[in-house]
């Protein structure tokens, strides 16, 4: 009778403990499911955050950059106009140095001959030609500075209008959030925010179109470059005429071999006007550079927008992983419950098995949480780093385009065949080096972010599972084996230990009747 009472007491205690385990796990599942559903649901603060981030990123990547590029272009164009005006005389003189040298040679050859007067009579021909073309250039480009200043004022007005729209959009989105702070008014909040969003992007797109192609550079190319090219072409033409006049004068000196002298003068190659074509070639190269960066920026902008819209970049929390592990190992809990009911041995065996399995769950959940923290922190850091890399490139790009070309004009003689091209190539190469280094980091980080989206943020049942789950299954098997041994050792009887069915997918804890097998304590459970 005492044994019967004891057995009934043990069975009752076992059932109570089993019920507590089951109810506790189910309560945690329900609580955590509720918490998780709240974390993934769109909240007002989440929505406001990513809509403002969307506008801010676009502002940094595009409108602010093109406005700064146009500002630098205008400043450089003003400097180039002034530089051309002050250096035009020396530039044109260098272009016809051949004529100046031939004049000196001719004056020495015909000194004291009948040709001396003829040569001296045309000695000022090229000087007058250069002065005439400088005067023509000054008339041609007379309004250049005033027109560029006018374009600068237009740019300032455009920037003010854009910045007003940008700041107004961000401020009014906050107003929308204040007016519709609750989730039950999310539709009205979205309608309010989208109207501000559309207002901003309409202004942003109009701003970008207004400065492409660059108004300052377009004016400089069509007017100033045209005036400078006309001056060079006219001086070159008069240079050819001057050489013919020298040849005509040589006829008056019988000591000069007319044919040999003509061959010498024909060594002048003339002038091939490449000023405009060099600028266009450099612009094409810059366009390809900028487009490569912009295309990559747009791809990342879209990726970032998708991440901010769809996912909450924060840890799922310990309870989430604890819940997942309870779900995956639910059959092991059921095994302990059923085994304890069917084979009521020493209560210490049940307590030990329960504690052991709980340790398995806690350990696996903690390991997954550690991985979770790493991914969340890495995601934030990589998104921040990629943004900084693009912003760094954005700070460089305004200075490598039209502004760089104009600065090349300011630096020196513009009529040499490859002066501007060579100067711009150096600027372009310097940017390519910077871009290559940063692009390697950008590509690596974006690839990792895409992998995180596919494996972590996109709703995986157990993010950061992997080998952690395999280790948990193995440890749970060991726990059941130890339970069997404990029951045998304490009672001297071989008890049946209920084994879980092969696990294919995680399921909730159930109380359905499991299958049972009896195994001797000397046999490995697995």
The percent of residues in the chain predicted with pLDDT above 90, rounded, is: 52
Q: Residue 491: is its pLDDT beyond 90?
A: no
Mean pLDDT of the chain: 82
Helix and strand numbers (H, E) in the chain are 18, 2
Q: Looking up tokens 């005439």, which residue turns up?
A: 132
Predicted confidence band of residue 526 (pLDDT cuts 50, 70, 90): very low
Q: Residue 4: is its pLDDT beyond 70?
A: no
Distant-in-sequence, close-in-space partners of 320: CB < 8 Å, separation ≥ 6: 32, 35, 36
Distant-in-sequence, close-in-space partners of 401: CB < 8 Å, separation ≥ 6: 69, 73, 283, 286, 290
Residue 42: per-residue pLDDT: 52
Chain segment 360-406, per-residue pLDDT in tens: 999 999 988 888 888 888 888 898 899 899 999 999 999 999 999 99
**What is Dmax (Cα atoms) for the chain?**
155
Q: Degrees (nearest 5) of the Cα angle 62, 67, 71?
A: 150
Q: Are strands 516-518 and 496-498 parallel, antiparallel or unpaired?
A: antiparallel
What span, in angstroms and rounded, lies between the C-alpha atoms of 7 and 12? 8
What is the mean predicted confidence (pLDDT) over 227-251? 94
Q: Residue 495: is its pLDDT beyond 80?
A: no
Residue 21: per-residue pLDDT: 35
What token pair was written down for 307?
């991440």
What span, in angstroms and rounded, lies between the C-alpha atoms of 466 and 448? 17
Q: Residue 465: is its pLDDT beyond 90?
A: no
Predicted confidence band of residue 488 (pLDDT cuts 50, 70, 90): confident
Q: Residue 189: is its pLDDT beyond 50?
A: yes
Chain segment 42-97, per-residue pLDDT in tens: 577 878 888 898 899 899 999 999 999 999 999 999 999 999 998 899 889 988 99
Q: HSE-up of 30 (CA within 13 Å, CB side)?
A: 6
Residue 10: per-residue pLDDT: 36
What token pair was written down for 458?
């996109």
Counting every residue written for the chain, the total comes to 526
- Is the model more confident about 307 or about 104? 104
Per-position b or e across 440-458, b if 16+ CB within 10 A of its CB: eebeebbeebeebbeebbe
Predicted confidence band of residue 19 (pLDDT cuts 50, 70, 90): very low
- Could you tell me how far CA 18 lies from the centroid of its own chain? 55
Predicted structure pTM score: 0.74
Q: Residue 120: is its pLDDT beyond 90?
A: yes
- Is the model more confident about 475 or about 511? 475
Beta-carbon count within 10 A of 472 CB:
23
Residue 20, preceding peptide bond in cis (omega within 30° of 0): no
Residue 459: per-residue pLDDT: 63
Q: Residue 504: is its pLDDT beyond 50?
A: no
DSSP state of 398: G
Residue 66: per-residue pLDDT: 96
- Is the model more confident about 260 or about 186? 260
- Is the model more confident about 41 or about 156? 156
Chain segment 194-234, per-residue pLDDT in tens: 999 999 999 999 999 999 999 999 999 999 999 999 999 99
What span, in angstroms and rounded, lies between the C-alpha atoms of 147 and 516? 94
Q: Residue 158: is its pLDDT beyond 60?
A: yes
């Amino acid at each position: 009778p005492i044994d019967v009472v004891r057995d009934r007491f043990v069975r009752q205690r076992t059932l109570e403990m089993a019920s507590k385990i089951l109810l506790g796990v189910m309560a945690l599942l329900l609580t955590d499911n509720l918490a998780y559903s709240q974390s993934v649901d769109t909240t007002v603060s989440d929505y406001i955050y990513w809509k403002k981030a969307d506008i801010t990123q676009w502002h940094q990547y595009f409108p602010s950059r093109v406005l700064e590029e146009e500002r630098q272009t205008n400043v450089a164009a003003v400097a180039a106009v002034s530089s051309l005006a002050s250096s035009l005389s020396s530039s044109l003189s260098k272009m016809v140095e051949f004529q100046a040298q031939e004049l000196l040679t001719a004056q020495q050859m015909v000194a004291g001959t009948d040709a001396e007067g003829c040569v001296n009579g045309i000695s000022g021909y090229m000087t007058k030609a250069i002065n005439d073309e400088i005067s023509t250039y000054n008339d041609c480009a007379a309004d250049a500075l005033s027109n560029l200043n006018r374009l600068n004022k237009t740019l300032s007005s455009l920037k003010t209008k854009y910045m007003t729209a940008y700041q107004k959009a961000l401020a009014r989105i906050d107003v929308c959030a204040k007016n519709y702070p609750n989730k039950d008014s999310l539709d009205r909040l979205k309608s309010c925010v989208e109207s501000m969003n559309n207002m901003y992007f309409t202004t942003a797109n109009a701003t970008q179109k207004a400065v492409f192609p660059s108004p300052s550079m377009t004016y400089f190319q069509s007017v100033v470059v045209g005036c400078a090219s006309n001056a060079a072409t006219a001086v070159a033409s008069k240079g050819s005429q001057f050489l013919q006049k020298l040849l005509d004068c040589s006829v008056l000196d019988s000591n000069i071999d007319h044919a040999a002298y003509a061959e010498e003068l024909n060594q002048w190659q003339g002038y091939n006007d490449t000023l405009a074509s060099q600028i266009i070639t450099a612009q094409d190269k810059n366009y390809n550079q900028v487009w490569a960066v912009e295309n990559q920026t747009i791809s990342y902008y879209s990726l970032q927008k998708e991440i901010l819209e769809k996912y909450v970049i924060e840890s799922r929390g310990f309870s989430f992983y604890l819940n997942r592990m309870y779900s995956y190992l639910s059959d092991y809990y059921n095994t302990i419950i059923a085994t304890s009911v069917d084979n009521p041995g020493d209560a210490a065996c049940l307590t030990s098995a329960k504690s052991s399995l709980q340790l398995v769950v806690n350990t696996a959940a903690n390991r997954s949480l550690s991985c979770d923290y790493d991914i969340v922190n890495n995601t934030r850091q990589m998104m921040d780093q990629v943004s900084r890399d693009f912003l760094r490139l954005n700070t460089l790009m305004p200075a490598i385009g039209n502004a760089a070309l104009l600065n090349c004009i300011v630096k020196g003689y513009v009529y040499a065949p490859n002066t501007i091209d060579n100067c711009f190539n150096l600027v372009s190469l310097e940017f390519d080096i910077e871009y290559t280094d940063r692009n390697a980091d950008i590509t690596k980080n974006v690839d990792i972010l895409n992998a995180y989206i596919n494996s972590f943020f996109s709703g995986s049942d157990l993010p950061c599972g992997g080998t952690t789950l395999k280790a948990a299954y193995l440890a749970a098997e060991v726990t059941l084996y130890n339970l069997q041994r404990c029951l045998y050792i304490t009672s001297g009887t071989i008890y049946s230990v209920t084994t879980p069915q092969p696990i294919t997918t995680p399921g909730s804890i159930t109380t359905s009747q499991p299958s049972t097998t009896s195994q001797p304590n000397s046999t490995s459970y697995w």
